Amino acid sequence: MSPVIELEGLSVRFGNRTILNNLRGSVSGGAIGLLGPNGAGKSTLIQTLLGFCQASAGTARIYGRDIRAARREIRAIAGYMPENESFIANMSAVSFVRMMGELSGLPRDAALERAHEVLFYVGLGEARYRLLGTYSLGMKQLAKLAQAIVHGPKLVILDEPTNGLDPPARQRMIRLIREMKDAGEMHLLLCSHLLRDVEETCDEVLILKDGRIVHCANLEQERRANKRFVEIETFGNDAGFAEALAAMGCECSASGAGRLKMVLPVGFDTREIYRLAAERDLQLRRLNYRRDSLEDIFLKAMETVS
């Protein structure tokens, strides 16, 4: 599968401050999650891909198109749903979405036709003639999605699409994102601070920290690998217990007094944990067996030293 986004030593500096530092890698999933703590460089990466920020070194490619040399072409094949409001409040939704379609290269009549279609698609058909300034937060988020896809882009960048939504509105947005991904006509780059949103919709994840890529994973492959995570809570003298488990092939990390998180090796029998505890007269108060999760991947990535 050809990469959707390729990063080739991409760096961005504002004055003496480095925001993105030598990003390298590629992603090709149908839906790609972009994660990282505040200040990690997520928004700067999005703005650089779209040509709003100038790369200080290196470059990036979107469907093979260099962001330095093909800005106009990239903007024609990419749709952008920004985190913050960017509306003209006294315009109707259909007029605004039509205008955004024209700015993306559609002829006027085609842009109007597509504006009606996408507003019905996102669930705003009955409210398409209302002024955007009268919309609720959930409706505004849907209108932002509509203007991002009106011109039929190959890549749609969604920046915090469920931000501030109540549970029913969030489910509606997640359903739309899944439908767009499953249709296979476009790729999605989803930036969110909500791990649940990414885990429910994305195939791949790119995690930034301090302007660097600290982890890039194919979530489908991770799920198929079915890594086994176990959390245990012990009571008694557990000195050397983690070391003994590590000697058996387990990856262990302490998560508090008497608490361990472990990744079990392939073929490991959990009865060995009980046997080892019995040998050491150590009481097991709790053992929780579960599969790998995006939260585990993210937290482990955050432990990476910059």
Q: Which amino acid is at 132?
A: L
Residue 73: name the closest of 83, 82, 65, 81 by CA. Answer: 65
Residue 121: name the closest of 176, 80, 78 by CA. Answer: 176
Same domain, yes or no: 240 and 189: no
DSSP 8-state symbol, 74: H
CATH number at residue 161: 3.40.50.300
Alpha helices, H only, the chain: 42-49, 71-77, 93-103, 108-122, 137-149, 167-183, 195-201, 219-225, 241-247, 271-279, 294-302
Give me the pLDDT at residue 226, please.
59
What does the pLDDT look like over 242-281, one tens digit per residue? Answer: 899 999 998 888 877 888 888 888 788 888 999 999 998 8
Domain termination residue (choose one: 219, 239, 271): 219
Give me the pLDDT at residue 224, please.
61
Same domain, yes or no: 254 and 283: yes
Same domain, yes or no: 112 and 127: yes
Give the SS3 label for residue 121: helix
Q: For residue 17, list its beta bridge partners.
A: 14
Q: Cα separation of 210 and 45, whole Å?
A: 12
Same domain, yes or no: 196 and 235: no
pLDDT > 70: what percent of the chain? 96
Q: Cα separation of 2 and 200, whole Å?
A: 24
Same domain, yes or no: 161 and 53: yes
What is the number of structural domains in the chain? Answer: 2
Domain termination residue (choose one: 219, 254, 279): 219
Same domain, yes or no: 118 and 176: yes
Q: Model pTM?
A: 0.79
Same domain, yes or no: 201 and 235: no
Domain termination residue (choose one: 219, 246, 269): 219
Q: Is 194 left (phi over 0), alpha (psi -120 to 50) or beta?
A: beta
Q: Which residues contact 45 (CB under 8 A, 6 or more apart)?
A: 10, 20, 23, 34, 208
What is the span of the domain harbouring residue 292?
Answer: 226-302
Same domain, yes or no: 278 and 239: yes
Region 227-236: what's the mean pLDDT? 84
Region 182-206: what's the mean pLDDT? 93
Q: Is the pLDDT of residue 1 over 80?
A: no
Same domain, yes or no: 41 and 69: yes
| Of 296 and 174, more confident | 174
> How sure is the predictor about 292, in pLDDT bands with cuts at 50, 70 and 90?
low
Give me the pLDDT at residue 219, please.
82
Same domain, yes or no: 18 and 61: yes
Give the SS3 label for residue 242: helix
Same domain, yes or no: 235 and 279: yes
Q: Is the pLDDT of residue 296 over 80?
A: no
Q: Per the structure block, which two tokens stand in for 213?
A: 């890529």
Same domain, yes or no: 36 and 167: yes
Q: Cα separation of 274 and 282, whole Å?
A: 9
> How sure is the predictor about 30, in pLDDT bands with cuts at 50, 70 and 90?
very high
